Structure formats: C-alpha cells, structure tokens
C-alpha cells in the first residue's frame, strides 16, 4: 500500500496536538495557509475529514481520532531510530588487547578527545586474539598475529611490526648481580609476556647466550603484567619497543642490552570494508598510525640507529 505524504502527516500530528492551525504553524515555522494545505492534502489522500473547524478552534473527527495515535507512535519510533543512528555514528567502538590499549591509547586519549570531541571512544579490551570480528560490538579492532589471516570481508592493515628489546628496572643494573652482559641473565628472573615461551629462546640465541634456561621464570597472561613486574624489579622481560618508549624516557625501565629481536609477529588494524570510508574509522586509523609513527621515531631504537 502506498504511504501517505509524510510531510502532511507530520503537520497533521502537530495540528492535532495544538488543535489550532495558527499554533501548529508557529511550532513548524510555516504559514497558517501552508498548514491548512497540508491537512487538506492528507484529507484528500484518505477521502475523509480529519478536523472539525469550529469558531474556538479545531476538534478531531472520528477519522482523525483513529489516525492520530498510530501516526504519533510512528513518528516517535522514527525519532528514536534516528537518534540511535546519530549516536552510533558518533560512538567509536574499538577492540584491542589490554597492553596496546594501556600503552598506545590511554596515554594519548586526551589528545584524541581534544582533536575529535564529536566522537566518544569506547575501548573493548580482550586477551584473546583469534575471536571472530563482531560487528555488533565494535567498529574496528587492533589484532596481534603472526600473519594477516582474517575473513575476506575485512580490511587488514599492518600498523606495527614487532621489535622486542629486553627491559628491566634500573635497580637491577647495579644490584647484587649486575647486568653487564647478556650472560648475566642467568642470575635474574625471565619475565614472559603472555603469548609464548619462544621469544626468550630466540632472543638468547641471537645474543649468543648459553647456560640460561629460556623457559625459566614467570609467565603472565598479558604483556602489561610482565611490564609492571619489570618496573617493580622482579626480573627482565622482552617488550615491544613502541610500548615502552615512555618508560625508557622516564627512567622507569632501562634497556640493559642492545640486541633487538625482530619477529614475524605484527599488530594489525582490522575493520569491515564497508566501514573504511566512515569518518570515525578514518579518524581513529590516521590518529593511531600517527601515534605509532611518532613513538617509533622518538624511540631508543631510532636514536641508536636501528
């Protein structure tokens, strides 16, 4: 069935609320004649009189009474849907593991809010990297993985390749067992980020260290916890350089050895192809890439020529 003229129907609802064409015209910023013509158009569409014109104003006819409630409810539903859509366009929902959220986003969140006050950022932090992309929960995700293996309907962009460096509290450098060479790690606890035990084995081999059990020490279920343990002086951990730049600059952590392990592991920005041109997605993508580029350029590795 053909829908009634919606502009005329909206004018009818306002006129019915005020029971006056004059007051309806003022509420709608129309002339009284325009309101009268819209109502006449609607009456012609239904083939029925909707208002009884009286000396003191208007009253609804039986046909008008039958129409006003569903018409008012329809516009209310449309307003609610429009508001929900507007809020969805301003809400930016991002899923990422806890450590990138803590190290990349939170320290720079005031900058994002200052630059883009029109967006409300919602961070969904999850430890599991291989969960399928959930469009109902977030707009884009930061995912760490060895290879870009995601669904073909998703865009996958590498934003950070993993470069691991050893870091520890400066107190360990000159403690009971000073960290002068990588061989001195035999006297210290190895702190393992959550992902696997293999990275310490590979780093020790790259540094030419023998006699250190790469599987010894303490394993955590998030890199952030290993970093907190390192700051507390509990041992030495391997960390992605972009996540410890501020700690190194502030002196909370130090890099006792220059050996850098570059792995196949990377962080990717993942989002549906159909969202690629949404302003909020483009804004967050460009902002995060700029943050990481700045961190990379100012990192200790860059200053040391790596």
> pLDDT tens across 32-73, in order?
999 999 999 999 999 999 999 887 788 999 999 999 999 988
Residue 234 pLDDT greater than 90, yes or no? yes
* Cα–Cα–Cα angle for 284, 119, 157, rounded to 5 degrees: 15
φ/ψ (deg, to 5) at 55:
-60, -35
Contact 105, 134 (CB under 8 A): no
Residue 170 CA to residue 152 CA, distance in Å, equals: 46
* pLDDT mean over 163-172: 94
pTM value surpassing 0.85: no
pLDDT of residue 129: 55
pLDDT digits (tens, 9 = 90+) for 214-229: 999 999 888 899 999 9
Q: Using alpha carbons only, give the angle 161, 301, 185 rounded to the nearest 5 degrees.
A: 95
- The rounded percent of the chain whose pLDDT value lies above 70 is 89
Place of tokens 């991002």: 94
Examine the pLDDT at 240 and tell me if it is beyond 80.
yes
Instruction: Please write the tens of the pLDDT for every residue from 93-140.
Output: 999 988 899 999 999 999 999 999 989 898 888 755 556 677 778 889
Model confidence at 3: pLDDT above 80: no
Return the structure tokens found at 135: 């469009």
Residue 5 per-residue DSSP state:
P
The predicted pLDDT at position 130 comes to 56
**Does the structure show a pLDDT above 90 at 192?**
yes
Helix (H, G, I), strand (E, B) or coil at 246: helix
Q: Which two tokens stand for residue 147?
A: 């290879």
Give pLDDT, residue 253: 95
Domains of the chain: 4-88 (1.10.10.10), 89-159+265-302 (3.40.190.10), 162-262 (3.40.190.10)
Mean pLDDT of 70-80: 83
End-to-end CA distance of the chain: give it in Å, rounded: 70
Q: If you ran DSSP here, which 8-state letter would residue 254 be given?
A: B
Which pLDDT score is estimated for 214?
92
List the structure tokens of 251: 């002196």
Phi and psi at 33, nearest 5°, equal -65, -35
Can you read off the two tokens belonging to residue 159?
A: 């934003």
% pLDDT > 90, the chain: 52
DSSP letter at 69 equals: H
Does pLDDT of 202 surpass 90? Answer: yes
Q: Is the predicted pLDDT of residue 300 greater than 70, yes or no?
A: no
**Tokens standing for 110?**
């005031």
Question: What's the pLDDT tens digit per position in 243-252?
Answer: 998 899 899 9
């Amino acid at each position: 069935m053909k829908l009634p003229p919606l502009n005329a129907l909206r004018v009818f609802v306002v006129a019915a609320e005020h029971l006056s064409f004059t007051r309806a015209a003022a509420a709608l910023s129309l002339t009284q004649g325009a309101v009268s013509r819209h109502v006449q158009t609607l009456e012609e569409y239904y083939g029925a009189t909707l208002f009884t014109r009286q000396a003191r104003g208007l009253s609804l006819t039986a046909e008008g009474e039958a129409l006003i409630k569903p018409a008012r409810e329809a516009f209310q539903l449309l307003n609610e849907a429009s508001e929900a859509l507007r809020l969805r366009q301003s809400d930016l929902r991002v899923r990422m593991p806890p450590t990138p959220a803590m190290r990349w986003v939170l320290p720079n969140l005031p900058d994002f809010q200052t630059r883009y006050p029109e967006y409300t950022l919602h961070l969904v932090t999850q430890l599991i990297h291989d969960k399928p992309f959930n469009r109902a929960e977030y707009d884009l995700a930061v995912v760490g993985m060895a290879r870009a293996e995601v669904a073909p309907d998703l865009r996958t962009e590498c934003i950070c390749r993993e470069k691991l460096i050893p870091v520890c509290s400066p107190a360990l450098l000159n403690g009971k067992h000073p960290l002068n060479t990588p061989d001195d790690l035999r006297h210290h606890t190895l702190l393992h980020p959550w992902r696997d035990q293999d990275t310490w084995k590979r780093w020790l081999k790259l540094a030419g260290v023998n006699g250190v059990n790469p599987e010894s020490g303490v394993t955590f279920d998030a890199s952030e916890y290993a970093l907190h343990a390192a700051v507390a002086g509990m041992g030495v951990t391997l960390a992605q350089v972009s996540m410890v730049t501020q700690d190194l600059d502030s002196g909370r952590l130090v890099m006792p050895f220059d050996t850098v392990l570059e792995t196949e592991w990377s962080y990717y920005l993942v989002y549906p192809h159909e969202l690629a041109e949404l302003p909020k997605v483009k804004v967050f993508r460009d902002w995060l890439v700029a943050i990481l580029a700045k961190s990379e350029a100012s990192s200790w590795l860059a200053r040391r020529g790596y």
